[in-house]
């Protein structure tokens, strides 16, 4: 990760090895984001970043006093979640298991247990959101093509997808 300064002194944090790894058009979008009057602290570009429609795909911003429904770089259906733990890297990095380090074991578990690409779970997953959508169909605009995807969604919740999707971890 490295940091560059935007045009209004808001930093742009980039989770790549060097500035050469960022498309010029993506970087220009990040500079524009750094000029937003409601920006809170910084612009972040994740390892999968690339030029989007107005905002980089893989770009993350926090905004003050506004909601930007399209601030995901127009990568429909993607989501991102950061989960902080109290696990300290120095507490686990030296732990060895029968198959190598605990960190390698954790990565292996993730790779074995989370479907990637066009793979889905074999059994439906619990989803409060999908369950509620099914029970409140009268609140939604009727679209047979989209509503027909609710059942398939139960098998896709929590999958990684393909292309520029990734799982990352940080330890304090």
Q: State residue 172's pLDDT score.
A: 54
Q: State residue 70's pLDDT score.
A: 61
Q: State residue 98's pLDDT score.
A: 87
CB neighbour burial string for 47-83, b if at least 16 within 10 angstroms, e if fewer: ebbbbbeebbbbbbbeeeeeeeeebbbebeeeeeeee
pTM (predicted TM-score):
0.49
Q: Note down pLDDT in tens along the chain; length 172 residues.
A: 889 886 667 899 998 989 999 999 999 999 999 999 888 888 999 888 888 878 898 888 888 888 776 665 454 555 556 667 888 888 888 899 887 899 888 888 888 888 887 788 899 999 888 888 888 877 766 666 667 778 888 888 888 766 556 676 665 5
Q: How many CB atoms lie within 10 A of CB 170?
A: 10
Q: State residue 7's pLDDT score.
A: 65
Q: State residue 11's pLDDT score.
A: 92
Phi, psi dihedral angles at 103 (to 5 degrees): -65, -45
Distances from the Cα of 36 to the Cα of 23, 74, 133, angstroms: 21, 18, 35
Q: State residue 21's pLDDT score.
A: 92
Under DSSP, the state recorded for 116 is B
Token pair recorded at residue 31: 């500079």
Q: How many CB atoms lie within 10 A of CB 87?
A: 11
Terminal alpha carbon distance of the chain: 15
Q: State residue 46's pLDDT score.
A: 87
């Amino acid at each position: 990760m490295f940091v560059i300064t935007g045009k209004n002194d808001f930093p742009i944090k980039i989770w790549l090895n060097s500035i050469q790894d960022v498309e010029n058009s993506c970087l220009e979008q990040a500079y524009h984001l750094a000029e937003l009057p409601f920006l809170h602290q910084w612009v972040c570009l994740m390892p999968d970043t690339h030029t989007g429609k107005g905002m980089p795909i893989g770009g993350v911003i926090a905004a003050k006093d506004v909601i930007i429904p399209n601030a995901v770089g127009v990568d429909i259906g993607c989501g991102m979640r950061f989960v902080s733990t109290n696990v300290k890297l120095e507490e686990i990095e030296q732990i060895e298991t029968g198959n190598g380090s605990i960190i390698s074991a954790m990565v292996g578990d993730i790779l074995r247990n989370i479907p990637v690409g066009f793979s889905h779970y074999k059994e439906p997953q619990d989803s409060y959101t999908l369950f509620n959508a099914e029970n409140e169909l009268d609140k939604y605009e009727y679209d047979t093509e989209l509503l027909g995807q609710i059942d398939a969604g139960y098998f896709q919740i929590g999958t990684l997808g393909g292309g520029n999707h990734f799982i990352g971890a940080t330890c304090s």
